[in-house]
């Protein structure tokens, strides 16, 4: 019998307690292992596959925030949420706003939108899984 797939580990970074709890609920309910932080902090974590981060000042500090998160969580995909994004962005538009983001979703977004973006951004197979 094949080994069960190891669930991806996500970190949710958002200063808003309610939003952080909602994203945690949605992603944990979908089977992901989830850790939370109010701020990126000074220390990263290993074995993190994806980070969902609030980009509260997207035009002025979005790229810096993404760069910092990528430095704290090397190898993890980064998905941004922002009240300053009018629609989901990808491709060249995304790279121009914040290089290093796998996706940018408007905040608020739906559970289905968030989970679809996370699934698309996660590497396949996950590092450290039996299939890797």
Reported as a pLDDT band with limits 50, 70 and 90, residue 2 is: very low
Round the CA-based radius of gyration of the chain to a whole number and report it: 14
Architecture of the domain whose range is 9-121: 3-Layer(aba) Sandwich (3.40)
Alpha-carbon separation of residue 60 from 63, 90, 119, 125 (angstroms): 8, 19, 28, 35
Query: What are the boundaries of each domain within the chain?
Result: 9-121
Average pLDDT of the chain, as a whole number: 83
The pLDDT, as a whole number, for residue 1 is: 38
Mean pLDDT of 16-37: 96
| Bridge-based pairing state of the strands 50-54 and 103-106 | unpaired
The pLDDT, as a whole number, for residue 27 is: 98
How far is Cα 22 from Cα 52, in angstroms, rounded to an integer? Answer: 12
Q: What is the DSSP letter of 88?
A: -
pTM: 0.85
How far is Cα 55 from Cα 52, in angstroms, rounded to an integer? Answer: 10
Judged against a pLDDT cut of 70, whether residue 82 lies above it is answered with: yes
Range from 18-27, 37-46, 77-86, 103-112 that averages highest in pLDDT: 18-27
């Amino acid at each position: 019998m094949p080994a069960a797939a190891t669930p991806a580990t996500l970190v949710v970074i958002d200063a808003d307690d309610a939003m952080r709890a909602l994203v945690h609920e949605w992603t944990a309910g979908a089977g992901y292992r989830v850790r939370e932080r109010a701020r990126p902090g000074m220390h990263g974590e290993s074995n993190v596959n994806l980070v969902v981060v609030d980009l509260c000042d997207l035009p002025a500090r979005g790229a810096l925030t993404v760069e910092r998160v990528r430095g704290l969580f090397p190898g993890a995909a980064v998905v941004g949420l922002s009240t300053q994004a009018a629609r989901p962005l990808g491709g060249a538009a995304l790279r121009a706003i914040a290089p290093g983001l796998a996706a940018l979703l408007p905040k608020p977004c739906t559970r289905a939108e968030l989970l679809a973006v996370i699934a698309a951004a996660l590497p396949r197979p996950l590092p450290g899984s039996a299939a890797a």
